[in-house]
Structure 1
Amino acid sequence: MSPAAQARELAVRETPIPGLLVLDLPVHGDARGWFKENWQREKMVAAGLPDFGPVQNNISFNQAEGVTRGIHAEPWDKYVSVATGAVFGAWVDLREGPTFGTAYWHEISPGTAVFVPRGVGNAFQTVQAPAAYTYLVGEHWSEAAQSQYTFLHLADETAAIPWPIPLERAELSAKDRAHPRLAEVTPVPPRRTLVVGGSGQLGRALAARWRKRADVDVVDRSRLDIADPASVAAFDVSPYGAIVNAAAHTAVDAAETEEGRRAAWAVNVAGVGHLVEAARRHRAVLVHLSSDYVFDGTAAVHPVDEPLSPLGVYGQTKAAGEQLVATLPAHYVVRTSWVIGEGRNFVSTMAELAARGVDPAVVDDQIGRLTLAEDLAAGIEHLLAVRPAPGIYHLTNEGEPASWAEIARAVFALTGHDPARVRPVSTAEYAADRPGLAPRPARSTLDLSALRATGFVPREQFSALRELLAARQG
């Protein structure tokens, strides 16, 4: 190996194929031989390599020059480097999208490595024998996984790869000679999106918003019960690049009971942990719904970095779930409050009471903002499309904070009833004859500035409420 090759520093370079990266590896040598750090996660991730979590290391040995393998697009990420000899690498983007068919080639010697994202076809031809190239992959090999390979003929005219050793003189397998041309290849589809907790208000809003998307699966507890380790183990998460966790135990008052406490921890903590590990194994981004209940409500407005201070069991479980999700490299914790969607909720209850002639007592010392489920769904869609920095984002409707009593009056007025029928009461007065109520934050207003910085601004809460009730009234 020449001194020039040894002098290079670690660098990660982009190519015309999105996500396909070439790495310059420092190689230290003398008359005795050489040494290199072939895989060094901390340094390479800092230099720009995705943290793809390799789980298997394979070695391919080619005895003679001209041995050629490919073109195979595999259902995992791959990191390829050479231990001895040299190979000519060629890659073709076989993923669905505008770069489908884009080709790139590069010789790989010990001072070079290449990161190949899933869905990009790769091929290697030995140009200096014997050659041994090693590759790390982000998924364990299996026959089921191999059935998901996509292939392209080595001599495809569109890719037009300039093989150093012409293919008619190269050594190819019978299978590689039979691969299709690009015009006959079905592009590799993007990874799918999974919505967990599809029967809840947010799950139904996401299902409605994404009903025309063929790459989204919405499942309820009957198909995936995150509190059940066996259910999670039996569910195939590998096709999914994004998971939205809308599943939760939300019975706030019941969580204060012996049975409810266990149920809340089983879903909101243990269940979240099961989902986190599934997302980690398959390198999926996890969007996790959390709550204003992680705060004690002493601040007028809660910033995203406010220390957690839950008052009751439900809030404690949501706070613990957040901590588990934060261990993932790719995650969004979406805190929200006062969600209103399809099904029974505060707004539907107030509208029903108004129609029945019931004059409700509603607390006027708990302050916050509504979150319409359709706006929550739109915000989550935005985060997955824009992919801002991982972390916590508050997502509610905009506008001046209001009390539950003010919102109840608005519901009465918008449905044609006298808002004066709503009797405002304090939380203490309301709870006096209702034993077992869980403690609630007095102020639930969440700071939305982090979300706004990503380019998403939700609707004003009373305008959104007006549109919701108008739509329900026909």
Structure 2
Amino acid sequence: MTEFSKPLAARETGIPGLVLFDLPVHGDSRGWFKENWQREKMTALGLPDFGPVQNNVSFNDAIGTTRGIHAEPWDKWVSVATGRIFGAWVDLREGPTFGAVFTAEIDPSTAIFVPRGVGNSYQTLEPDTAYTYLVNDHWSPTASYTFLNLADETVAVPWPIPLDRVEISAKDLAHPRLADVTPMAPAKVLVLGAAGQLGRALRAEFGDAPHIEYATRADLDLTAADLATARRWRDYDTIVNAAAYTAVDLAETPDGRQDAWAANATGVAALAAVAAENGITLVHVSSDYVFDGSLRGAYPEDAALRPLGVYGQSKAAGDLAVSTVPRHYVVRTSWVIGDGKNFVRTMQSLAERGVDPRVVDDQMGRLTFTEEIARGIRHLLEHRAPAGVYNLTGGGDPTSWADVARAVFAAAGHDPSRVTGVSTDEYFASASGPTAPRPRNSVLDLTKIEATGFVPADAAASLQSYLEAAHG
């Protein structure tokens, strides 16, 4: 027998996420060897880094043994150790491809990745067939499955051996037809900090579909000792952390320092551990305060962290914890404006009450509206952008806080010259309590997120729309 070799290759199937692989097999007169699962090579070809936690083997001694159609709430990597099978896969997930079918013969030189919610079934074509599968969750009696009858006329699987001539379990024969199947819902998305300004914007962006959950600290405390078991975390695909301690001046007090580190660092580290352990995508919202503001020009994502105060230090620590999660997005933003009390609302009120404010003019940045952050987060998730840090602010030319105040005055029909620009040092010279150091330059470079196809809204235009909506 001459030597032979077969290279690794991936083939799409028509069902999103269901991918057939030709495995690398090498053989000679002594037999053959194959790489049944090789993380680095296979993820390079598009296989999700699905993090298997269990390996199972199913042995079938007779030709025609038929199993399925079962859709499970986890991902599977299925291959044949000995023998040969006919496989049929049916998409049982919510969405436009519900009911789509793919069939193929699988032998030891092929394997298939079956994503969560795609029904899988097999019929043995040779005696003493054994197939093996990796799964990324442990079996649980509380897990939710979806089933389809093997003989469903709608999907019409072309079984090589008629079903009335093969071995099938009574349970599989009793499964519903496609018209009676309840599609498997998407894996859950959890939004933390749901009561805050950004949390409310995220609710408006993501909506109230059954698989989207919103939680406040009262619902889920990241500092609680039981966080790791507070949910069945394997049911979650994504966590968006919009919760944070943001009282930057109060953070400079002893109690504030403790609270800032608990919320922004310790709790985030615990959340990152949960996400890493359970294969969850973690989206974490960060701040320009992780920089000292001394850089000339816009800050890129990989700029050195140099936080000035407690708030910035605690946020930087949280960013580093999140970066340990394989599937993560650190969304760094600045000068956030949302629904509720904020700088713009304050300037509106001062203009209407005849108060002429002193506003700092040596801090430069761009306003970022919470709706823009929510839109950007959804964009990163839906476009499956590479994991990492992304700057996300409003677009356009940078301005000072005094410039923003003048724009608010003008939009409200008041004289913008009523706003007096002062330095940060002058502004805080008469402060009665502790004040946090502020970065003078909060301009973030948007090149990286723009490369994913996201177009940041112009900050000045967003401000105008915000003010017009307020006067409704």
Question: What band does the TM-score fall into relative to the shorter chain?
Answer: over 0.9
Give 1:93's aligned amino acid. Answer: D
Percent of matched pairs sharing the same residue: 61
Residue among 34, 37, 49 paired with 1:36: 34
Mapped to 1, the partners of 2:230 and 2:251 lie a distance apart of 28
Match of 1:100 among 94, 98, 101: 98
Tell me by how many angstroms 1:273 deviates. 2.1
CA contact (8 A) 2:359 2:427 kept: yes
Q: Contact (CA 8 Å) 1:290, 1:322: kept in 2 or not?
A: yes
One-letter amino acid of the counterpart of residue 351, structure 1: Q
Q: Does residue 309 of structure 2 align to residue 301 of structure 1? A: no
Question: Aligned partners of 1:231, 1:472: CA distance in 2, in Å?
Answer: 40
**C-alpha separation in 2, matches of 1:290 and 1:364:** 24
Q: Do the aligned partners of 2:227 and 2:270 also contact (CA within 8 Å) in 1? A: no
Matched-pair contact (CA < 8 Å) for 1:210–1:216: yes
**Preserved contact between residue 225 and residue 232 of structure 1 (Cα < 8 Å):** no
Alignment of 1:378-397 (within 5 A): 378-397=375-394
AA aligned opposite 1:347: V
| Cross-structure match for 1:88 | 86
What is the 5 A alignment of 1:89-128?
89-128=87-126
What's the counterpart of residue 470 of structure 1?
468
Give how far 1:121 is off: 0.6
Gaps of 5+ in 1: none
Deviation at 1:338, TM superposition (A): 0.6
* Mean Cα deviation higher: 180-189 or 379-388: 379-388
Partner AA of 1:220 in structure 2: T
1:317 aligns with 2:314: yes
Instruction: Give the corresponding residue for 2:356.
Output: 359
User: Which residue of structure 1 aligns with residue 285 of structure 2?
Assistant: 289
CA-CA distance at 1:29 after TM superposition? 4.2
1:101 CA displacement: 1.5
Q: Who is 2:188 aligned against? A: 192
Aligned pair partner of 1:62 in 38, 47, 60: 60
Q: Any conservation in 1 of the 2:2–2:29 contact (CA below 8 Å)?
A: no
1:100-154 Cα distance to aligned partner (Å, 9 max, x none): 2221222222222111111111111222221221111011110011xx1111111
Aligned to 1:155: 151
Q: Which amino acid aligns with 1:438?
A: A
> Does the C-alpha gap of structure 1 residues 415 and 228 become closer, same or farther in structure 2, counting only changes over 3 Å?
farther
- Decide whether aligned partners of structure 1 residues 24 and 304 sit closer, same or farther in structure 2, where only a CA change above 3 A counts: same
1:332 corresponds to 2:329: yes
CA distance change for structure 1 residues 463 and 45 in 2, over 3 Å: closer, same or farther? closer
- Quote the offset at 1:199 in angstroms: 1.3
Partners of 1:447 and 1:113 in 2: CA distance: 43
Q: Choose 387-396 or 116-125, whichever is displaced more.
A: 387-396
Structure 2 gaps of 5+ residues are: none
Q: 1:233-312 alignment to 2 at 5 Å?
A: 233-299=229-295, 300-312=297-309
Contact 1:229 1:274 in 2 (8 A): no
CA deviations 1:37-60 (Å, max 9, x no partner) are 322222222233211000111111
Residue aligned with 1:16, SS: coil
Structure 2 residue aligned with 1:129: 127
- SS in structure 1 of the partner of residue 454 of structure 2: coil
Kept in 2: contact 1:73–1:118 (CA 8 A): yes
Q: Name the counterpart of 1:373.
A: 370
Report the AA paired with residue 411 of structure 1: V
Give the one of 150, 161, 164 matched to 1:165: 161
Q: Deviations over 1:419-453 (max 9, x none)?
A: 33323221111222225211111010111222222
Q: Deviations over 1:308-331 (max 9, x none)?
A: 222122212222222222233322
Q: Please tell me the residue identity of whatever aligns with 1:350.
A: M
Offset from partner CA, 1:233-292 (integer Å, 9 cap, x none): 313433332222111111112222222222222221222222223333443322211111
CA distance 1:466–1:139, shift in 2 (3 Å): same
Letter in 2 for 1:116: V
Aligned-residue offset at 1:407: 1.4
Question: What is the one-letter code of the residue matched to 2:334?
Answer: S
Give the whole-Å Cα distance in 2 for the aligned partners of 1:307 and 1:189. 42
SS of residue paired to 2:126: strand
Q: Offset of 1:232 from its aligned partner?
A: 5.3
CA contact (8 A) 2:5 2:27 kept: no
CA contact (8 A) 1:224 1:235 kept: no
Q: Measure, in 1, the Cα distance between the counterparts of 2:207 and 2:163.
A: 47
Q: Distance in 2 between matches of 1:213 and 1:137?
A: 27
Q: What residue in structure 2 maps to residue 449 of structure 1?
A: 447
Match of 1:222 among 218, 222, 236: 218
Q: Residues 226 and 232 of structure 1 are in contact (CA less than 8 Å); yes or no, is this contact kept in structure 2? A: no
Q: Over the residues paired in the alignment, what is the CA RMSD in angstroms?
A: 2.1
Partner of 1:182: 178
The residue identity in structure 2 corresponding to 1:310 is P
1:419 to 398, 416, 421: 416
Taking the aligned partners of 1:14 and 1:390, their CA distance within structure 2 comes to: 23
CA–CA distance in structure 2, aligned partners of residues 426 and 404 of structure 1: 11
Shift of 1:220: 1.3
**What is the alpha-carbon distance in structure 1 between the residues aligned to residue 467 and residue 200 of structure 2?**
18
Normalized against structure 2, the TM-score is what?
Answer: 0.93
What is the TM-score with the length of structure 1 in the denominator?
0.93
Tell whether the 8 Å contact from 1:68 to 1:123 is kept in structure 2 after alignment.
yes
Q: How far did 1:212 drift?
A: 5.6
Among residues 63, 71, 74, which one is paired with 1:73 in the alignment? Answer: 71
Q: 1:190 to 1:437 in 2, by over 3 A?
A: same
Range 268-277 or range 13-22, more displaced: 268-277
The alpha-carbon deviation at position 31 of structure 1 amounts to 5.1
CA positional deviation for 1:203? 0.6
Is 1:433 matched up with 2:430?
Answer: yes
Query: What secondary structure does 2:437 align onto?
Result: coil
- For residues 58 and 3 of structure 1, what CA distance do their matches in structure 2 show? 33
Deviation at 1:69, TM superposition (A): 0.9
CA contact (8 A) 2:76 2:133 kept: yes
Please report how far the alpha carbon of residue 91 of structure 1 lies from its aligned counterpart in structure 2 after TM superposition: 1.0
